[in-house]
């Protein structure tokens, strides 16, 4: 059994621009656990724990999704938060149909632990440590300032396994180019 998610990786120039903003904001929030931007990804669907026996069908169905969907234009779109625990950089673009196709493929493959929440396209920047008092993320958002509206094309997605720990370990299991029209 593996903990899996499907994600797209933004290009280096997007990560570099976020890195500049994070470098300015990081000293204002030492209580946050900042993510390693080198591992940044845009989660399209969190699949949870997936039985090994389902992997072949899941892989086949995800390949079909990639063949049906064209590349999608995306743009970095400000910063936001989920409550007082997660700080993120927003991503705009018509990613919902692709994410829905990925979710359907996972469901039809028998994936039972699928995250039911709708897509909120974002790149996670930092987490509040569970052992600390809540951090006022609005102040950190102000320190981050406006991110440049960098555009890119989401032209592929990956099936990624993750092992949780102090620093999560991610491994790309399979990749597909978006080739639909």
Q: From the candidates 50, 122, 126, 154, which is the catalytic residue?
A: 122
Measured CA to CA, the distance from residue 154 to residue 156 in angstroms comes to: 6
Handedness of CA 25, 30, 34, 38 (dihedral sign): positive
Measured CA to CA, the distance from residue 100 to residue 97 in angstroms comes to: 5
Measured CA to CA, the distance from residue 22 to residue 127 in angstroms comes to: 13
Residue 82: CB atoms within 10 A of its CB come to 13
Q: Name 154's bridge partners.
A: 72
Beta strands, E only, 9-145: 32-34, 42-50, 72-82, 86-93, 122-128
Measured CA to CA, the distance from residue 69 to residue 144 in angstroms comes to: 34
Query: Residue 143's Cα: distance from chain center in Å?
Result: 22
Q: Is 122 an active-site residue? A: yes
Q: Is 41 an active-site residue? A: yes
- Answer whether 3's CB lies under 8 Å from 164's CB: yes
Q: From the candidates 6, 22, 25, 41, which is the catalytic residue?
A: 41
Positions annotated as catalytic residues are 41, 122
């Amino acid at each position: 059994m593996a903990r899996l998610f499907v994600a797209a990786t933004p290009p280096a120039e997007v990560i570099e621009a976020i890195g500049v903003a994070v470098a300015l904001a990081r000293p204002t929030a030492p209580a946050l656990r900042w993510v390693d931007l080198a591992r940044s990804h845009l989660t399209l669907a969190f699949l949870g724990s997936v039985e090994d026996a389902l992997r072949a069908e899941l892989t086949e169905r995800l390949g079909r999704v990639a063949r049906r969907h064209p590349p999608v234009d995306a743009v970095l779109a400000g910063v936001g938060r989920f409550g007082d625990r997660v700080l993120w950089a927003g991503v705009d673009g018509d990613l919902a149909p692709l994410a829905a196709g990925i979710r359907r493929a996972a469901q039809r493959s028998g994936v039972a632990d699928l995250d039911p929440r709708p897509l909120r396209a974002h790149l996670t920047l930092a987490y509040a440590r569970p052992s600390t008092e809540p951090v006022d993320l609005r102040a950190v958002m102000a320190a981050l300032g406006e991110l440049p509206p960098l555009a890119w094309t989401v032209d592929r997605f990956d099936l990624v396994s993750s092992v949780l720990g102090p620093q999560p370990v991610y491994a790309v299991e399979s990749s597909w180019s978006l080739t639909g029209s």
